[in-house]
Amino acid sequence: MAGMAAQAEKINPAIGRTMAGADIVIETLADLGVDTVFGYSGGAILPTYDAIFRFNSEHDGGAGDAMQLVVPANEQGACFMASGYARAGGRPGVCLVTSGPGATNCVTPVRDSLADSVPLVLLCGQVPTGAMGTDAFQEAPIVNIMAPCAKHVFLVKDTAKLEPTIRAAFEIAASGRPGPVVVDIPKDVQNGECEFRGAGHTLDLHGYRRRIRRILGNRLTPEKCRDFFARLGESQRPLLYVGGGVIHSGAADSLRAFADRYRLPVVTTLMGIGAVDTTHDNSLHMLGMHGTAYANYAVEDCDLLIAVGARFDDRVAGRPDVFAPNTRAIMHIDIDSAEINKVMPAAWFHHGDAGITLRDLMDNDGGFRAGFGPWLEHIRRLKRKYRLNYRRDGDLIQPYYVLELLNSLIDGEAIVATGVGQHQMWAAQYLDYRHPRSWLTSGSMGTMGFGLPAAIGAQFACPGKMVFDIDGDGSLRMNFGELETVTTYGLPLKVLLMNNFGDGMVRQWQKTFFKSRYAGSDKSLYRKDFVQAAKADGYPFARRVNNKADLPGVLREFVAARSPAFLEVVIDQDAGVYPMVSPGTGYKQMITGDYIARREDGAAGEDDVDPISGSGMF
């Protein structure tokens, strides 16, 4: 939002001019610093598409003032691109679609963005106000449909309300706990005329702004800081449990400084990956259903759990009654008060911004000095003994091997987007992530087809960075048309398809829980030639690897390619995601497969947990 604020400070020559509502939309977006819009045209939004065309004709070549319009294969792709743009760039993504099916195609990305707290602004065309409610051509009740899926929905019936509503939409999307905001704009409102007013002309969000100010102003008192460090001082095995809220709030630097100062090991949720450098000695990577065994065992062993921007969802605390059984207390920091005490009771909690709260704690620690050396040594032993592993011999290409090779080439310095399924979990487990906003995935909704359009959006947000879509054959099919979008815009995006000829995660569950009845999940009879399709879409690099010996060399070429690149790797169809915590069980019942070590009883016994004395704590 800093770039948008700087843009808004400029004196806009359009201020005071009377213009059509469609021009108001585009002028307001430009005034807010929007440089890229993802969308698909149609009858009810044509006035605004014409306005963006005319705006760019007037601003072409003018110090980057033109607004890039990215046209995908369909509206779901456009909205996921806007989501990827927001996730990678840290500022609201913008999607512009027509009424009816154009808008309803965006329901899934909007709900996906709400579930993952992603700032998104969706602008929808609508039939003229006089035709609303008559089942007019391409009419859909978007306010009713989107209301439970978005952070907020606006229907604009007065052209004079367009500018303030759009400004308010951006404010709501980006503030507090971020989320998607939908603005429904009838065609006659786009064609109406009014005066463009410029920065500051927004809706009166008095109640909302008061709540946001209260959250941001909710600072820790000295007494509450003392209580925090008293509890930390009584602990021998503290553990930081970090979620996506740390990344969304821009608190990763504060979190890293906090963990380093007090020598705290860190586990992250799927959405929290990148909040800490996964190569750091004290990083235990991801916990939960498919978390690393050593992260889950650390949760079993800890006696104090400090949750920051995390919500104890069912993939982490599937059985709250047995989650973190040796923990004497939970401390919870979150910007959304609804998450505190929702699943796990907190002995100490604070409702506020994660970064501000962590800095307040560091500024008021009373000289606290950590003495958790024995616990950190225990953590290192957990990482050695229960490390990720897999079958390394045999002729079939193992997906873990593919990602280990890729990791050696990119070293945690790329942006990675994924679809949903086994490949998503393997990418979370086997790749390193040194920076926040480098891991983009559909977490709460688990939406197949997310990866490719999200990667496209990320590449537009971060044009100088290397961006990968790591996908599975099932997920890639969902938005396969967006392969052409990559080549249309000449993006140096890299698509790595791990093909196991089926819906791998579904197959794994069917094998484990349904006696290998693979109903609807086996795609081995399908005849999709992904490489030929990529070539037809203009990929200069489009290869398939079946032979394990060929993989290292081809993968190096793939990573080195400076043009759009597509690589299909045929992997072992029976490869599974391990560890796995089955639904309705606790971490003690974690399934680690044949190659990852596990505790015999799954419990922290005398041989596993070191007796740690209270000496040397300060």
Choice among 137, 513, 514, 618 that is catalytic = 137
Choice among 161, 187, 523, 588 that is catalytic = 187
In angstroms, how far is CA 117 from the centroid of its own chain?
A: 8
Choice among 1, 478, 505, 580 that is catalytic = 505
Contacts of 561-564 with C-beta under 8 Å, sequence gap 24+, read 561/492, 561/494, 562/492, 563/490, 563/492, 563/539, 564/486, 564/487, 564/490, 564/491, 564/492, 564/493, 564/494, 564/538, 564/539, 564/540
Structure tokens at 252: 């990763």
Structure tokens at 154: 């606006």
Beta strand 193-195 with 18-20: parallel, antiparallel or unpaired?
antiparallel
User: Is 505 labeled as catalytic in the residue annotation?
Assistant: yes
Q: Which residues contact 600 (CB under 8 A, 6 or more apart)?
A: none
Q: Which amino acid is at 543?
A: R
CA distance 435 to 388: 22
Q: Strand order of the sheet with strand 494-499?
A: 439-440, 415-418, 467-472, 494-499, 565-570, 541-545
Q: How many other CB atoms sit within 10 Å of the CB of residue 611?
A: 7
Cα distances (angstroms) measured from residue 553 to each of 395, 398, 402, 409, 547: 17, 16, 12, 11, 11
Rg (CA), the chain: 25
Residue 569, SS3?
strand
Choice among 1, 4, 27, 75 that is catalytic = 75
Q: Which amino acid is at 17?
A: R
In angstroms, how far is CA 106 from the centroid of its own chain?
A: 17
Q: Which residues contact 486 (CB under 8 A, 6 or more apart)?
A: 452, 456, 493, 495, 537, 539, 564
Q: Which residues contact 216 (CB under 8 A, 6 or more apart)?
A: 352, 353, 356
User: Is 137 labeled as catalytic in the residue annotation?
Assistant: yes
Choice among 68, 138, 573, 617 that is catalytic = 138
Q: Is the Cβ–Cβ distance between 259 and 266 less than 8 Å?
A: yes
User: Is 558 labeled as catalytic in the residue annotation?
Assistant: no
What's the half-sphere exposure (Cβ side, CA atoms, 13 Å) at 495?
A: 41
CA distance 507 to 478: 18
Cα distances (angstroms) measured from residue 75 to each of 63, 466, 513, 612: 30, 25, 36, 57
User: Is 171 labeled as catalytic in the residue annotation?
Assistant: no
State the sign of the Cα–Cα–Cα–Cα dihedral 544, 550, 555, 560: negative
What's the half-sphere exposure (Cβ side, CA atoms, 13 Å) at 195?
A: 6
User: Is 187 labeled as catalytic in the residue annotation?
Assistant: yes
CA distance 186 to 194: 15
Q: Is the Cβ–Cβ distance between 212 and 351 less than 8 Å?
A: no
Mind telling me the catalytic residues?
75, 137-138, 187, 505
